[in-house]
A and B are shown apart, each in its own frame.
Chain A
């Protein structure tokens, strides 16, 4: 087992264990805090796969943005307005059937795919290539996504003003 493997398993363990706690924890603020470790572990795995830009965007968007927003929402509703958020289990049977089917489909996809095996090389910076592709081959999609985000922003602002 090389150092690379060791670090990979470390990040994988962090991700899986904290994800387990996110799902099972009864306290919703605790669950949100455990999500920090899950997102961090996933960013680590992206780095191990050599996609540095995706890892950092993962940190900026999920840890710096969505997680903080989630924490704000949970804290404000939970502590200040004294509304109980339900964290119990409901519809256990249909949920486990659907999840079992989904897990089966995922497992089948994982085990039946003919994975391409590439030799381990030292990772190269992916930002320049990504930027060139975004403004050349995928320029239209990139611009459309930009407009979509802008519309979402304006919508959020106008809803907040009401």
Chain B
């Protein structure tokens, strides 16, 4: 494990813990956000028969870096009637909430922030901090569009947390663990061991579980999509009604931090869904390292599969964003309370019966 290696290298628990907790941010999340912003613009461009950014670097590869340099130079505007203290605190709290989730996400067999037993429940808990941060930002902006956006965002996140949690409870009942690392280990080796295909236990239970798990996967994917406020659930920042929702008043690096938190959230939900249903960091077809007897290669391969599944679902989210129109507020609530929640309750009961019998 990474922590032991760092502990031996530095000789101090505190320094090792600090380095380990900063590693996902600097080695993964920041490069990922740079890449994802470019990907979003390229995907949207090609879907609308445009080319997207083309000028900076080869096919616009350095566009995001140029944008970041521009954002750093921007003046940090704080309007006179903003609530200064909370206005400055809000991006920080939103980012802390979304980054804290990465502590329990296994990046590969060798890198896991904290192997706590409550993994997935911990992630659900720290997401609550994001809601408080969003409300804080919307209120402190002292702008009616910001406040409306923040209210909508909070109401939406709270409503869609229910189907998410119900599906998570279903998964916990089948796997018997809340630890994302153990869950990924449980679905190891081949893709037919993935939970979406009934899990590794063969028999009648697997056949019964397959249709239920496919529906559960769709439910949790849609409800987590709503939790990160992406299209078709992006009414909190509906450009045509609310300018851009709770971060309308933010400029420069504070806006960039909100943006980073959004991309971090998108990636976090992708890897959580893949850890629950698609084997997490486990390879679907076995490891090259096992084939050639190179055990040191396996963690790197696991990291590749982790990033591949995560980025694939981020791509699906972008795909949906540039394909589907936005929900209306009443449709949004009806979809959650009249379709997702009853379906997930029924699945929870059936899976309970299956696991007892």
Contacts and interface: CB of A to CB of B under 8 A. Distances in A.
Q: Do A and B come from one complex?
A: yes
B135 interface: yes
A40 B128 CA distance: 11
A54 B283 CA distance: 35
Nearest to B138: A75
B78 interface: no
Interface string B112-147: 000011100110111111011001100100000001
Contact of B117 (A40, A59, A65, A127): A127
B193 to A, nearest CB: 24
The winner among B125, B136, B161 for most chain A CB atoms within 10 A is B125
| Chain B residues touching A, majority SS | helix
Contacts of B13: 3
A59 B128 contact: yes
Contact of A64 (B86, B118, B139, B161): B161
Interface of B: 13-14, 83, 86, 93, 116-118, 121-122, 124-129, 131-132, 135-136, 139, 147, 151, 154, 158, 161, 178
A52 B116 CA distance: 9
Interface in A26-70: 29-30, 33, 36, 40, 52-53, 56-57, 59-60, 63-65, 67-68
Nearest to A52: B118
Given A3-B13, A56-B118, A64 B154 contact: no
A75 B139 contact: yes
B125 A64 contact: yes
Contact of B154 (A33, A59, A72, A125): A72
Interface of A: 3, 29-30, 33, 36, 40, 52-53, 56-57, 59-60, 63-65, 67-68, 71-72, 75, 79, 125, 127
Given A33-B86, A127-B117, A56 B14 contact: no
Contact of A53 (B118, B124, B135, B154): B118
B154 A68 contact: yes
Contacts of A29: 139
Given A125-B117, A127-B178, A71 B124 contact: no
Contact of A56 (B125, B132, B154): B125
Contacts of A40: 129
Given A33-B136, A125-B118, A72 B151 contact: yes
- Name A's interface SS: helix
A50 to B, nearest CB: 12
B132 A60 contact: no
Nearest to B93: A36
Contacts of A64: 124-125, 127-128, 131, 158, 161
A146 B135 CA distance: 31
Contacts of A59: 125-126, 128-129
A67 B126 contact: no
Nearest to B90: A33
A3 B13 CA distance: 9
Contacts of B136: 33
A30 B161 CA distance: 26
A14 B301 CA distance: 42
B234 to A, nearest CB: 20
A72 B117 CA distance: 33
Given A64-B124, A71-B139, 5 more contacts: A33-B132, A60-B121, A64-B125, A68-B135, A127-B118
B249 to A, nearest CB: 16
Contacts of A33: 86, 132, 136
A64 B165 CA distance: 13
A71 B139 CA distance: 10
Nearest to B126: A59
